[in-house]
Structure 1
Amino acid sequence: MSVSKIKSHAKINLALNVTGKLTKLHKIESIIAFIELHDLITLKSTKNLKHVIRFNGKFSKNIKKNNTVQKLFNILDEQKLLNNKKFQVKITKNIPQKAGLGGGSMNAASILNFLIRKKFIKLNQKKTFKITSLIGSDVILGINPTSTVLRSNNTLKKFFKCPRLYTLLVKPSFGCSTKKIYSKVKRFTKSKFNNPKKNMFRSDFLISQNNSLEKIAISKYPKLKKIKSFLGALKNPLFVRMTGSGSVIIGYYQSKQDCELAKVQFKRKFKDYWCNTSKTI
């Protein structure tokens, strides 16, 4: 098998509501998009007795041995779905960790997509959902990634050819622990997205929404409020919002020019923060 290259795109929450709690996990609903920013995965078969998984790149430090990709291959081996085939995997990490961008989860989803598409494994929808759930609750979002509404009952509605937005992503020097942010949730929001429509991806709808985890993250990390206020005061952002449980704050723009100008202005003020312009896909 020749080397295959896979783009693993970052996931962003355009809007997010926490609507309740199950035994362990919270119930959420979200409007989700994917952006051009991606990790690059190279994958090829190997004669080794074990899968070989390596990470490199700017955001490859401190990735645990029991990471999402390792979990995926462990599950596939345990269920004998790969017929004893082993793979060598190298992942160049361009997506920061603890950012709310789903980098690790999307890595696992992207590899699973590839293995299904290339017919290394055969899975029906129910089995795919079961495997992704064993890895992480948001991995299912990266299966056939496109604009998606996650309903509060944990079902997905996918949409195609949605309006595109330019994005300015900013991450301070710290990350947010998803577990810690959710542990502070005390109030739940009434479901708003249980009847998904394509117009939910229009900027005029998104402007009126929010991320209900944002206030919690800002109360714990006041620097996030400073970032949001600065981005909001720049020229022509449609809206500014945290993605997921943070710590990335995103400014959304209709114009690429406005987005790039905002990046220049932000970097003048916050020289040490990670900053990236991208676009929804």
Structure 2
Amino acid sequence: MKNSKELVFAKAKVNLALHVTGRRGDRYHFLDSLVVFPKIKDKLVIREASDFSVSIAGEFSDLVNPEDNSVIKAYDLVKEKLNSNFSIHLEKNIPVGAGLGGGSADSAAVLRYFQEKHKIEIPKNEIIAQIGADVPVCLSEKFQRVRGIGEITEEIHESNFELWMVLVNPGINVSTGEMFQSLEEIENKGLESFKGFKTSKDFIEYLQRQRNDLQGVACEKYPVIKCVLNEILETKNNLLTRMTGSGSTCFGLYSKMEYALRAQENIRDKFKSWWVQHSRVF
């Protein structure tokens, strides 16, 4: 049994809109956000072992602390309920400090694995959200609305239209805490109400009326993020351009795969050091 292993995936998270609506007394911020999960992912190999261990490889492994990370924090929440120890190998493909919730996605993947494969009851969302505000929403990887401090999640039925995304990261690590602390207006309106989206046109028009409340302060502190947004905006057939999370990754939306591929290649050709990936959204 200890030789058996399981391959688990953790998809990147993208905030199509992110409204900051208030702050609790403990300094956690209230959010209202629409979240999707493109097919860009970290990989985790989990297997039974004599002792617990975490190893890390992959393009962005150097940016993860091997002694203190979200995988260890997630394991600590359930280890007392397990009948044996486990080793976890993480292949880190999602940029770090990038607004893509990679650490939260890894935590959620660990919790989901033990819940599904070992029938372990995982803690409530209020506890899980203390690892990272994005951990509860990452448990599902469905199109969702997120509220509260991240613990209130609501699945949204995906529409039948096609939508593609290009993600661009300029290679800088942005502190989520720093962005929230720099925010002057914290009591903003939540998302506009909606009942569903029948066409991509309806959806894009809705998103255009929403915002990311952290985008302005991120662009002010890191001008390269504004540069990224401008480069995406200039691509052909772009429907929407916005920053995800607290940055530094930005995205563009497109109606067809060929448009997204063309945008990806154009930006890659122009900025060799930037991380640029396309993916289907719906």
TM over 0.5: yes
Q: Which residue of structure 1 lines up, in the alignment, with residue 125 of structure 2?
A: 129
| Residues 1:16 and 2:34 aligned together | no
Deviation at 1:195, TM superposition (A): 4.9
Deviation at 1:72, TM superposition (A): 1.4
TM-score, normalised to structure 1's length? Answer: 0.91
Q: Which residue of structure 2 lines up, in the alignment, with residue 188 of structure 1?
A: 186
Q: Is the 8 A contact 2:75 2:111 kept in 1?
A: no
Q: Which residue of structure 2 lines up, in the alignment, with residue 58 of structure 1?
A: 59
Residue 246 and residue 68 in structure 1: after superposition, are their counterparts in 2 closer, same or farther (change >3 A)? same
1:130-145 → structure 2 map (5 Å cutoff): 130-145=126-141
1:80-229 → structure 2 map (5 Å cutoff): 80-83=80-83, 85-123=84-122, 127-152=123-148, 154-162=151-159, 163-193=161-191, 195=193, 197-199=195-197, 202-229=203-230
Deviates more, 1:214-223 or 1:225-234: 225-234
Question: In structure 1, what is the Cα distance between the partners aligned to 2:146 and 2:280?
Answer: 21
Residue 22 and residue 130 in structure 1: after superposition, are their counterparts in 2 closer, same or farther (change >3 A)? closer
Correspondence for 2:48 among 45, 49, 52? 45
Question: In structure 1, what is the Cα distance between the partners aligned to 2:127 and 2:49?
Answer: 23
Give the aligned residue type for 2:35.
I
Residue 160 and residue 4 in structure 1: after superposition, are their counterparts in 2 closer, same or farther (change >3 A)? farther
TM-score, normalised to structure 2's length? Answer: 0.90
Correspondence for 2:30 among 21, 27, 30? 27
Give percent identity, aligned residues only.
29
Specify every segment of 5 or more residues in structure 1 that has no aligned partner in the other structure, as ranges: none
Residue 165 and residue 9 in structure 1: after superposition, are their counterparts in 2 closer, same or farther (change >3 A)? same
Residue 112 and residue 74 in structure 1: after superposition, are their counterparts in 2 closer, same or farther (change >3 A)? same
Give the aligned residue type for 2:145.
V
Over residues 24-45 of structure 1, what are the superposed CA-to-partner deviations in whole Å (9 max), with x where a residue is unaligned? Answer: 1111110011110000111111
Give the aligned residue type for 2:262.
L
Question: In structure 2, what is the Cα distance between the partners aligned to 1:53 and 1:170?
Answer: 29
Residue 32 and residue 61 in structure 1: after superposition, are their counterparts in 2 closer, same or farther (change >3 A)? same
Q: Is the 8 A contact 2:63 2:96 kept in 1?
A: no
SS of structure 2 residue aligned to 1:211: coil
Give the aligned residue type for 2:121.
K
Over residues 26-81 of structure 1, what are the superposed CA-to-partner deviations in whole Å (9 max), with x where a residue is unaligned? Answer: 11110011110000111111122xx111110001113121111101122223xx21
Deviation at 1:274, TM superposition (A): 1.1
User: Aligned pair count?
Assistant: 273
Question: In structure 2, what is the Cα distance between the partners aligned to 1:56 and 1:274?
Answer: 18
Q: Is the 8 A contact 2:21 2:190 kept in 1?
A: no
Deviates more, 1:248-257 or 1:67-76: 67-76
Question: In structure 1, what is the Cα distance between the partners aligned to 2:234 and 2:82?
Answer: 52
Q: Is the 8 A contact 1:6 1:40 kept in 2?
A: yes
Q: Which residue of structure 2 lines up, in the alignment, with residue 271 of structure 1?
A: 272
Over residues 237-279 of structure 1, what are the superposed CA-to-partner deviations in whole Å (9 max), with x where a residue is unaligned? Answer: 1101000000001111111101111111112221111111112
Question: In structure 2, what is the Cα distance between the partners aligned to 1:71 and 1:42?
Answer: 17
